[in-house]
Structure 1
Amino acid sequence: MFNQTEFPKPTLIPVNGVELEVFEAGQQNMGKPIVLCHGWPEHAYSWRHQLPVLAAAGYHVIVPNQRGYGNSSRPADITDYGIENLSGDLVALLDHYGYKDATFVGHDWGAMVVWGLALLHPNRVNKVINMALPYQARTEKPWVEFMEEFLGSDYYIVHFNRQPGIADTVLDANTSQFLRNIFRKNVPPAPPEPGMMMIDLAKAEAPLGEPLMSDSELAVFVSAFEKTGFMSSINWYRNLDRNWQILADVEPTIQKPALMIYGDRDLIPKAPNLKEFVPNVDIVSLNCGHWIQQEKPEETNQIILKWLEKQDAT
């Protein structure tokens, strides 16, 4: 069981016109930075199992609550949450520490940001480790329009964009229940139900599967979102089509060494063409669901450390 008191105290760091709440460990390892980027609806605390292990392995571990989360800034405009701002925050974070580049690790939406960072600022990234969300190749149509066509108007990402404010309000009213219901493991497979998945989760009285974490760990996420609400974090999704435009003229291939970790029971499909866009990628799958580094922390840590060791040896 993870001991909450072991998680480091944060620092508020001004970057790129906002302040980020940053947790770090291994400051004595200056010169070997690794930046861990959380997904949605998460928090820097979702890396609690990786932070001490990576620090012990000789890394300066930097774990921001990205803009819109925790005690980091929550700008008012939706456009403040586009990929140019989210990746710009990470570049400015490197500048703050005086680093030319770093290894970046992302999970879920954090992986989307890390892929985007490697496209927009390739000289600031030396290695990429992503989980759950593979590289998303640009579709012919903007992403939300593409999803609407194939997955329907109730698909949660489409709903977030087409009906702004509706889901945010429901999640805000059911924060504890929603997070309890979404952070599960060993959820029995079932065909998708009609309706909007995130709203359904927020309203469901009985969760499926098993809890991903202890009540005290869950309380960290609940208290954070009770303070911030969900709108600022959902605004990341509301920039998907803007991101599609921003990346239109960017070289789409990522040449950096990369590691992609999938959960075999994740609802997010694996990318059949990953090597086409990320030619230097190693691919690993774990027998778990979406919350990979929290569900299988020891296995995730070993995979990351062995891969980093192999990269450093070449």
Structure 2
Amino acid sequence: MECKIAKGSIEANGLKFGYLEAGSDGGPLALCLHGFPDSAYTWRHLLPALAAAGYRAVAPFARGYAPTSVPADGVYQSGALVADAVALHEGLGGDRDAVLIGHDWGTAAAYGASAIAPERWRRVVTLAGPPLAATGDAFQRYDQLKRWFYLFLFQTPLAELVLDRLFIEGLWRDWSPDGADIAADVSYAAESLAAPENAAAAIEYYRALFDPSLHSERYAREQEAVAATGERPVLYLHGTEDGALGADIIAPAGDLNRVMAALPPGSHADLIAGAGHFPHLDRPGEVNRKILDWVSG
């Protein structure tokens, strides 16, 4: 599919966001939000597909991920990501036909933004980050706690010492199916987090996850919205080989009822066979089709 991906930047919510985009300014906005340890380049297969379907597809680099600026107030709670998504919708000229797509940390922003500002979005897609209510007994499961070792490591001063390219590559290998070609994406992520201040920003997301004292009252409403069940239908996709959050946790015996019960009415959930934590990269053709079918509905 021939479609040029361009670079741009925009001021939103007090930050200068760098972004990648494809498609016409005249099309509805498709806002694509990445997670950790990743970058806007994670959407390089989806952006042209969305553009070909008539969307202006935009993938910003998340707060603190170069080339996006590091917030002066040092706030990285999920509510801030929600506020960023809403501000980006506003700044990019989105309307009620916009769609919101999030992966990993981007799912927290997507759930919250669609709940707090449903008038801004028509449909939502989330990948590899189910609603918290769908994670069941994950924090009581030894196998899942092993997968989540980095959550706890990042609460310590060791985090700033270990988060380098080798660590990023190790996570990608653990989280991806055997034989996956991860080199390009590791390079993109490592470039975004190469500077100490950017690596520190990525770590602070996880510290704010466990420490409410790092939250700002400015984002109190947005923070509450992250755990709310919105009203816009959601397509949820999860790889069967996800090494960050096991498919067996959210879909025991392949049953996605736990996920569906936590999503708004009219939602849908699918497992992507053979895909890991990055299904849009492991199975781009299949995932693109599912997303395009969903947002065109």
Verify same fold: TM over 0.5.
yes
Counterpart in the other structure of 1:83: 78
Matches of residues 105-254 of structure 1 in structure 2 within 5 Å?
105-137=101-133, 155-156=148-149, 158-160=151-153, 163-171=155-163, 175-184=164-173, 209-213=178-182, 215-227=183-195, 229-241=198-210, 242=212, 247-248=223-224, 252-254=228-230
Indicate whether 1:263 and 2:239 are aligned: yes
Q: Distance in 2 between matches of 1:261 and 1:236?
A: 23
How much does 1:249 deviate? 8.1
How much does 1:239 deviate? 2.2
Unaligned runs of 5+ in 2: 252-256
How much does 1:93 deviate? 1.2
**Bigger Rg, which one:** 1
Q: Distance in 2 between matches of 1:286 and 1:158?
A: 25
Whether the 8 Å contact between 1:153 and 1:159 is mirrored in structure 2 is no
How much does 1:42 deviate? 0.4
Which stretch of structure 1 is more off in the superposition, 242-251 or 103-112?
A: 242-251
Structure 1 pair 303–249 and aligned structure 2 pair: CA distance change class (3 A): closer
Structure 1 pair 236–217 and aligned structure 2 pair: CA distance change class (3 A): closer
Counterpart in the other structure of 1:197: none
> Higher RCO, 1 or 2 (CA under 8 Å, sep at least 6)?
2
Whether the 8 Å contact between 1:180 and 1:218 is mirrored in structure 2 is yes
Secondary structure at the aligned position of 1:134 is classed as coil
How much does 1:56 deviate? 1.0
Counterpart in the other structure of 1:193: none
Which stretch of structure 1 is more off in the superposition, 270-279 or 101-110?
A: 270-279
How much does 1:256 deviate? 0.9
Unaligned runs of 5+ in 1: 140-145, 189-208
Structure 1 pair 289–77 and aligned structure 2 pair: CA distance change class (3 A): same
Whether the 8 Å contact between 2:112 and 2:225 is mirrored in structure 1 is no
Partner amino acid, structure 2, of 1:126: R
How much does 1:49 deviate? 0.7
Structure 1 pair 165–212 and aligned structure 2 pair: CA distance change class (3 A): farther
Render the CA deviation track for 1:13-72: whole Å, top value 9, x for unaligned: 1111111101111024x2411111101010000111111111111111011001011210
TM norm structure 2: 0.80
Render the CA deviation track for 1:84-122: whole Å, top value 9, x for unaligned: 321111111111122234210011111121112122222
Whether the 8 Å contact between 1:147 and 1:158 is mirrored in structure 2 is no
Indicate whether 1:282 and 2:268 are aligned: yes
Counterpart in the other structure of 2:95: 100
Indicate whether 1:25 and 2:11 are aligned: no
How much does 1:159 deviate? 1.5
Whether the 8 Å contact between 2:7 and 2:19 is mirrored in structure 1 is yes
Whether the 8 Å contact between 2:132 and 2:227 is mirrored in structure 1 is no
Whether the 8 Å contact between 2:20 and 2:58 is mirrored in structure 1 is yes
How much does 1:222 deviate? 2.4
TM norm structure 1: 0.76
How much does 1:284 deviate? 1.4
Whether the 8 Å contact between 1:263 and 1:289 is mirrored in structure 2 is yes
Q: Which of the numbers 304, 307, 311 marks the counterpart of 2:291?
A: 304
Q: Distance in 2 between matches of 1:298 and 1:138?
A: 27
How much does 1:153 deviate? 8.6
Structure 1 pair 95–38 and aligned structure 2 pair: CA distance change class (3 A): same
Give the fraction of aligned pairs with identical amino acids, expressed as a percent: 29
Partner amino acid, structure 2, of 1:168: E
